[in-house]
Amino acid sequence: MACTFQDGALFLDTVESNAVEPDVRSISERDLLRWSESLAAIARTGLGFTESLYEQERFEEVLHIAADIRAAADEERTNAIRADDAHARANVAQASDAKSTGSAAQLPGSSDRAGGMGRASKADGWVHEWMGQVGKGIAGYVTPKVAVGAAVGNSEGQLLLIQRADSGIWLYPTGWADVGYSAAEVVVKEVREETGIDVEPLRIIAVLDGFRLGFTRIPLYSLVFQCKPLGGSLEPHPLECLDVGWFGEDELPSPLAAAERWKDHVFKAIRGEPVEVLYDVVRKPVWKGETGNAGRAGAEPIHSAAKPDRTKEK
């Protein structure tokens, strides 16, 4: 088995002795990230519970392997950023005359975005950070963080969206679950803070894995509530949001985070159509990854919980 890089992706090439064509399977940055975070969580949890010096050494070794995988994922992300910058420079150069070509070859901030730290140094940094997060006993059991989301629909069938200041990407209001608040209470607080709109949570319509959605590099579960607006006026948070607004299903802004995973479901709920709780499909096997041999996503990324058929019980 050999590893190769092609077009910013890592490939595993499996060649049998009598095979003519290699079996090539792409490994995405998202898969690398999920595997590294999962291994790191297992190792940190083990370090939090074990009293055996031998086991401590083994868990620390697993943590170093996880850090190597995470550094490879970070490198893939850096390569993608550099490729985007190169594409942008090429477009600028094409649009410029011969005199301005030299100055157009550099884009402000592109080297900063790409970063220059080597993979080994990044891996050491992750090990140091993860070791600092190791707790003892139950406090050391590593689990995904919990976040909430708000699908707020108005009487005109429009959805409330924010444009995030950290990425420029549009999404429904979201936030971390704060200690001392219920999930519904956090939703009310976050929507008010981010948009200026007061809401009433009606029900949970989705429980989604942030990694599967693809817009987070932190392990999390997102509880998405359908909400109705009660009042207030649109006012984006000065630090967290670039913009905020109401959008119909046919007038959604771009870029919109993982819309293919939640858009249809959310707008059905806003229109008053019957919907059940949306959740991520169970992968078989779990660790195979999000992409198949052909490099495409799974056919069914999410499922909706169906009500049991009670007619047969009568």
* CATH 3.90.79.10 residue spans of the chain: 145-306
307's tokens: 């009500």
Q: Which pLDDT value is given to residue 73?
A: 83
Rounded Cα–Cα distance for residues 2 and 12 (Å): 6
Please name the fold of domain 145-306. Nucleoside Triphosphate Pyrophosphohydrolase (3.90.79)
Rounded Cα–Cα distance for residues 135 and 152 (Å): 38
Q: Which pLDDT value is given to residue 41?
A: 85
Contacts 24+ apart (CB under 8 A), 186-189: 186/148, 187/148, 187/149, 187/150, 187/225, 187/227
- Per-residue tens of pLDDT for the chain, all 314 residues: 445 445 444 555 544 445 445 444 567 787 888 888 889 888 888 898 888 988 989 989 998 888 888 888 888 777 766 666 666 566 555 655 544 444 333 444 444 434 446 778 888 888 888 888 888 888 888 889 999 999 999 999 999 999 999 889 999 999 999 989 999 999 999 999 999 999 999 999 999 998 887 767 788 999 999 999 999 999 999 999 999 999 999 999 999 998 998 999 999 999 999 999 999 888 888 776 554 332 333 334 456 665 544 444 43
Q: Which pLDDT value is given to residue 90?
A: 60
Q: Which pLDDT value is given to residue 75?
A: 82
Q: Which pLDDT value is given to residue 84?
A: 61
Rounded Cα–Cα distance for residues 256 and 235 (Å): 20
CA-wise closest residue to 27 among 47, 3, 50: 3
DSSP 282-308: PPSSGGG-SB-TTS-B-S--EEEPPPP
Are 45 and 39 in contact, with CB atoms under 8 Å apart? no
* All residues at 6 or more sequence positions from 265 whose CB lies less than 8 Å from its CB, including other chains: 205, 206, 275, 278, 302, 304
- DSSP class of residue 177 equals P
Q: Which pLDDT value is given to residue 91?
A: 59
Specify the pTM: 0.65
